[in-house]
Amino acid sequence: MSETDWKVFNPAGTRRVVVTKELPGGRWLELLTAAGCRVEVAQGREVLGETGVRRALGSQVDAVIGQLTEQWSEPLLRSLREAGGAIYSQYAVGFDNVDVEAATGLGLPVGNTPGVLTETTAELAVALTFAAARRIAEGDRLTRSGAYRGWLPDLLLGSLLHRGTVGVIGAGRIGTAYARMMVEGHKMDLVYYDRHGNEELERYIAEYAGFLSARGEEPVQCRRAASLGDLLGSADVVSIHATLTDETHHLIGAGELGQMKDDAVLVNASRGPLLDEAALVQHCRSHPAFRAGLDVYEREPTLAAGLEELDNVVLVPHLGSATTWTREGMATLASANVVAVLNGWPVWPAAEDVEAVLPFLDAPDPPHAAPSIVNADELGLARWTG
């Protein structure tokens, strides 16, 4: 590998770990070097294509920490395994870019970084919600352009969300966190759509409703939608938090957009292909009161034609997990997965929330375990018992 494109840490290390992007913080690197790893880190800003990744793997490698922007298909995973790779550790919680089934067939553990992204990503979805509803980006552009001439009664009128209805598609960890933020912070009723009921979320909202009633305030409501259309037609805000699968590709298209309120707000901080961007462009052009906030894109970083021209869409560059604490925590968890697998340590119990992974982030001597291996059960890996 070219010395101008890669930086090597602990060159005398006996285990070779390739990291396909420079990661924030320092704890992740300390964990790897303390475990006797030679760490080779790509310095470029561009996404490594399959050829670049294969070149980086070389003929011998023990582990890779990769990115969600890379496509880890069966041939590439096989190349990693044949070069001696013991684990592919993803610097992300999502792993739809990884053929996990193929990895399992090759006996290759796949790591990810849950727990630390939940509130951070939910906060970004909330920020997009209000940026779109209150036309923040439009106001910023107007002010910077010099066109602002003073307060006007009808200047950039937006939507009041307080006591409205928020619709959440996918009530997993991030969807649940977003729902709670919107309900608790703005007393919105909640309708959610998920293949599985979220009894804990429903119980929490019911308890919050009881708190409001005890204070003499109108209680909030929570219900699980019978269908996606039911949610779309009743919500003032729709936030997408579904998992990307073949079935959920273009979950929201022209037909679904047409079922939403004309002045609704649509937010996607999950996965770009869940939303048909071309359909969104057409819908926003014909429904100027409709607004959207996007953090992810179908063909990232390329935008659908015309999307960037729309004033009623807020666009940010995949910032869902972009806080210093979260991104450094992700790096630590990704490295801890590598160290654990290389040392033959067990897998930590499922990380349902941030408290579950704090021992890896804060403790001077983190647990001798892998924080999260998505195919641990399929591979028959031992679980931590304390």
The vertex-115 CA angle with 113 and 116, nearest 5°, equals 80
The residue with tokens 């070097």 is 33
Is 287 assigned a catalytic role? no
Q: Which of 78, 318, 368, 383 is catalytic?
A: 318
Q: Which amino acid is at 356?
A: A
Contacts of 276 (CB under 8 A, 6+ apart): 250, 252, 253, 254, 298
Helix (H, G, I), strand (E, B), or coil: what is residue 133? Answer: helix
Nearest Cα to Cα of residue 167 among 193, 134, 131, 187: 193
Please tell me the distance from the alpha carbon of residue 89 to that of residue 107, in angstroms, as a whole number.
Answer: 14
Burial category of 138 from C-beta neighbours within 10 Å (exposed 0-12, middle 13-18, buried 19 and up): middle
Quote the CA–CA distance of 59 and 130 in Å, as a whole number: 50
CA distance 31 to 341: 13
250 is annotated as an active-site residue: no
**300 belongs to the catalytic site:** yes
Identified catalytic residue from 123, 184, 300, 378: 300
What does the block give as tokens for 191?
């309708």
Cα 35 to Cα 281: distance, rounded to the nearest angstrom: 50
> Could you give the angle at which helices 50-57 and 74-82 cross, rounded to 10 degrees?
10
* Sign of torsion over alpha carbons 84, 78, 110, 177: positive
State how far the alpha carbon of 5 is from the alpha carbons of 35, 42, 64, 374, in Å. Answer: 24, 6, 17, 31
| Catalytic position from the list 81, 271, 291, 327 | 271
Radius of gyration of the chain (CA): 23
For the sheet containing 63-66, what is the strand order? 6-9, 37-42, 15-19, 63-66, 87-90, 110-111
- 47 by Cβ neighbours in 10 Å (0-12 / 13-18 / 19+) ranks as middle
Which residues carry out catalysis? 271, 300, 318
